[in-house]
Amino acid sequence: MIEYIALGVGLLSLLVAFVFALYVRKQDQGEGRMVEIAGYIRKGAMTFLNREYRYLSVYIIVVAVFLYLLSFIKNGGVSPYTPVGFVVGAIFSALSGNVGMRIATLANVRAAKAVEKDMHSGLKVAFSSGSVMGLTVVGLGLFGVSAIYLIFNVVDPQGLSNILFGFGFGASSIALFARVGGGIYTKAADVGADLVGKIEAGIPEDDPRNPAVIADNVGDNVGDVAGMGADLFESYVDSIISAIAIGILFSALNTAIVFLPLLLAAIGIISSFIGISVVVMLRNKDPSKAMNSGVITSSIVMILLAFVVMYLNGDYKFVSIGKVVPWYNMFVALVSGLIAGIIIGFSTEYYTSDRYKPTRDIAKASTTGAATNLITGMSIGMLSTVIPVLSISVAIIIAYILADLYGIAIAAVGMLSTLGMTLSMDTYGPVADNAAGIAEMANLGKNVRERAEELDAVGNTTAAIGKGFAIGSAALTALALFATYNQTLEGLGQKIVIDLANPSVMVGIFIGALMPFLFSALALLAVGHAAENMVNEVRRQFREIPGIMEGKATPEYEKCIDISTRAAIRKMIVPTLLAIIVPIVVGITPGLGPRAVGGLLAGSIASGFLLAIYMANAGGAWDNAKKFIEKGNFGGKGSDAHKAAVVGDTVGDPLKDTAGPSLNILIKLMSIVSLLLAPLFLLL
């Protein structure tokens, strides 16, 4: 019965998302230059996505065939239906980002037009667009997992967990391709545009004379909308899947602890509906306060509904370990994850918003040059890891003491339970950024630009908060998947103990800790090389096309879009395949095997979590420090402090939008690949 309720709530979420999409489409898109610029952005975004999907289609087919062939290995653990789960997960992951990006490229110009009226009107359009993404992601996620459970619980009950892992594998791998590819695209354009436009030519950000400016705006959509949508889709489904899998191991199919994650996800969607309504209806002059009100409201509603559900359900039996967990223990485990997520969100806001001391310290450091700006920003990024690590650690301890390993999985579900609301807030950011760019390029006037830029500044913080949620949930979900990996091997007769005296375990830990650094290096190098090509192209156009700087000639925007597209497609392949290949190689190498894979996962979770937080928060703080100076502080635009801050922002861009947010997918993808192939490692 509960799985049907979850299925229905997932469909309801998709219906509400459709209503928001209709609302956005009905808004005035303006006229003339506004529509022309929006058309460039929409066309560039769809061109990239269509080309990316052609490559991903080949990948999906190859991996599905590989999984099907593995199913013929006796006791290999792979169900013949696992490829079906993989393909569905991959398609849903791609679809979640695609839907969000399509509506975002319609909303940007409408938000710019709405800002002409007042701040709240622009906020409402941009946030409604974000709500389409948020509700589509959770709707597709809950619908997909529920449908897989309903169908294969009948068709192949013994292989159900493996089929669900296949679904998560498909979602994670497509998310990593989308995140890395979109991140390379957006930051190659952004860095190239900033270096030549703002630093060398001294023209404003989003100036239509800059040939890379359209590619930059396209990048906001392919990276921060399509990439983020696929990213958080896989975070969401992996948290639910890990809880279901541990529930099956601890009890059996069709028991209360197996259905609980689906039920919690369903009431989380209902809570998100209410939080989103608060933001849309609350006419607050401060957009940040309006969205914080939505987050707090949805969290409170989630806690109240979860309390009622768990109280009515009663205690939970862990048959395999002979333990009965009181309902209130499970409730506290859930709340610990949810509160940890909120703390991480507000901690991120503190370290990245220009209303608080850390970002203002970076702005002040800019007055003495780019070097002090960079040193201060790096320090702030490192300091920002303390609160998230402590929050996650406390949540893990509480959840484990109260409800064993299953409690950790439920804490991860709790952290992402209101994802519909938090992702709506996150996706609002790139729409507001595009709206500010369109307002600048279409010359909509000083007041409109200032309002749009204020919405954009809030969007930088909301995006950072969203990344904080994604990274925090990744740590909990990866830990839950790691626990499931151990439980799966124990069920097959080999218990894994992470013994530091065991050389294979230590080798695994070192390789695992290395992976986030290697992955980040490849992603950042890709951005650097693509940005070099972008810089050379922009310089060429400034040099060879007469009349650009006077506004009498139109730059060749398409050439810059093509540079970003080709670089992103070409450079996204190796980093993503590493996440899949390395666990397999470690698992089948003589002398390493399953124990080393356990060490690999432990090392990657620890270093990946810290590195992701550092890069995301340092990048967000550098960005908002620049915007704080642009408001007229420390000399304002064009000052030496501003030039130093632009350097910091340029360095931080690929950290916060390419490498950093990709790491949370990396650690989960490595975990789920290891989990999916764990029985195979034992055979080899």
- Tell me: the pLDDT tens digits for 37-82? 888 888 888 888 888 888 899 999 999 999 999 888 877 778 999 9
Q: Which residue has the higher pLDDT, 189 or 83?
A: 83
Compute the average pLDDT of residues 361-372. Answer: 96
Alpha-carbon span 526 to 183, nearest angstrom: 10
Residue 192: per-residue pLDDT: 81
Confidence of residue 464 (pLDDT cuts 50, 70, 90): low
The torsion angles phi and psi of 325, rounded to 5 degrees, stand at -105, 120
Q: Does the structure show a pLDDT above 70 at 641? A: yes
> Contact 380/233 with Cβ under 8 angstroms?
no
> Which of 86-90, 134-138, 202-206, 547-551 has the weakest average pLDDT?
202-206
Confidence of residue 286 (pLDDT cuts 50, 70, 90): confident
Backbone conformation region of residue 205, classed left if phi is above 0, alpha if psi is from -120 to 50, else beta: beta
Span between the terminal Cα atoms of the chain, in Å:
41
153: closest CA among 320, 1, 321, 315? 1
The torsion angles phi and psi of 316, rounded to 5 degrees, stand at -115, 130
Q: Does the structure show a pLDDT above 90 at 230? A: no
**In the structure encoding, which two tokens stand for residue 159, read together?**
């292989």
> Contact 427/102 with Cβ under 8 angstroms?
no
Alpha-carbon span 240 to 238, nearest angstrom: 5
Strand partners, 317: 324
Burial group, residue 502, by CB count within 10 angstroms (0-12, 13-18, 19+) = middle
Confidence of residue 355 (pLDDT cuts 50, 70, 90): confident
Alpha-carbon span 544 to 538, nearest angstrom: 10
Residue 455: per-residue pLDDT: 85
Q: Give CA angle at 58 (56, 61), nearest 5°.
A: 110
Residue 326: per-residue pLDDT: 95
Q: How many CB atoms lie within 10 A of CB 546?
A: 9
**In the structure encoding, which two tokens stand for residue 344, read together?**
């991480």
The model carries a pTM of: 0.91
**Percentage above 70 pLDDT, the chain:** 99
Q: How far is CA 523 from CA 404, 418, 666, in A?
A: 37, 30, 12
Confidence of residue 680 (pLDDT cuts 50, 70, 90): confident
Confidence of residue 1 (pLDDT cuts 50, 70, 90): confident
Q: Does the structure show a pLDDT above 90 at 518? A: yes
Residue 402: per-residue pLDDT: 95
Confidence of residue 451 (pLDDT cuts 50, 70, 90): confident
**Percentage above 90 pLDDT, the chain:** 51
Residue 460: per-residue pLDDT: 66
Compute the average pLDDT of residues 244-266. Answer: 90
Amino acid symbol at 608: G
Compute the average pLDDT of residues 617-628. Answer: 92
468: closest CA among 572, 392, 400? 392
Diameter over CA atoms, the chain: 79
Residue 401: per-residue pLDDT: 95
**In the structure encoding, which two tokens stand for residue 606, read together?**
């620890």
> Which of 104-108, 458-462, 666-670 has the weakest average pLDDT?
458-462
Q: Does the structure show a pLDDT above 90 at 468? A: no
Compute the average pLDDT of residues 316-327. Answer: 89
What are the pLDDT digits (tens) for 127-178? 999 999 999 999 999 999 999 999 999 999 989 999 999 999 999 999 988 8
302: closest CA among 277, 325, 334, 276? 334
The sign of the CA dihedral 193, 539, 44, 230 is: negative
Q: Where are the domains of the chain?
A: 2-683
> Which of 12-21, 432-441, 598-607 has the weakest average pLDDT?
432-441
Confidence of residue 602 (pLDDT cuts 50, 70, 90): very high
Q: How far is CA 519 from CA 264, 511, 522, 611, in A?
A: 34, 12, 5, 11
Structural element, H or E, at residue 323: strand 323-325
Structural element, H or E, at residue 324: strand 323-325
Mean per-residue pLDDT over the chain, rounded: 89
Compute the average pLDDT of residues 183-206. Answer: 81
Q: How many CB atoms lie within 10 A of CB 32?
A: 8
**In the structure encoding, which two tokens stand for residue 529, read together?**
């090389």
**In the structure encoding, which two tokens stand for residue 456, read together?**
């954009």
The sign of the CA dihedral 172, 176, 177, 179 is: positive
> Which of 3-12, 255-264, 312-321, 488-497 has the weakest average pLDDT?
488-497
Confidence of residue 7 (pLDDT cuts 50, 70, 90): very high
Residue 62: per-residue pLDDT: 95
Amino acid symbol at 553: A
Q: Does the structure show a pLDDT above 90 at 521? A: yes
Residue 285: per-residue pLDDT: 63
Q: How many CB atoms lie within 10 A of CB 533?
A: 16
Compute the average pLDDT of residues 452-470. Answer: 74
Helices (H) and strands (E) counted in the chain, each on its own, are 22, 2
Residue 573: per-residue pLDDT: 87
**What angle in degrees, to the nearest 10, is found between the helix axes of 573-588 and 557-571?**
0
Q: Give CA angle at 511 (507, 512), nearest 5°.
A: 115
**In the structure encoding, which two tokens stand for residue 304, read together?**
């109240």
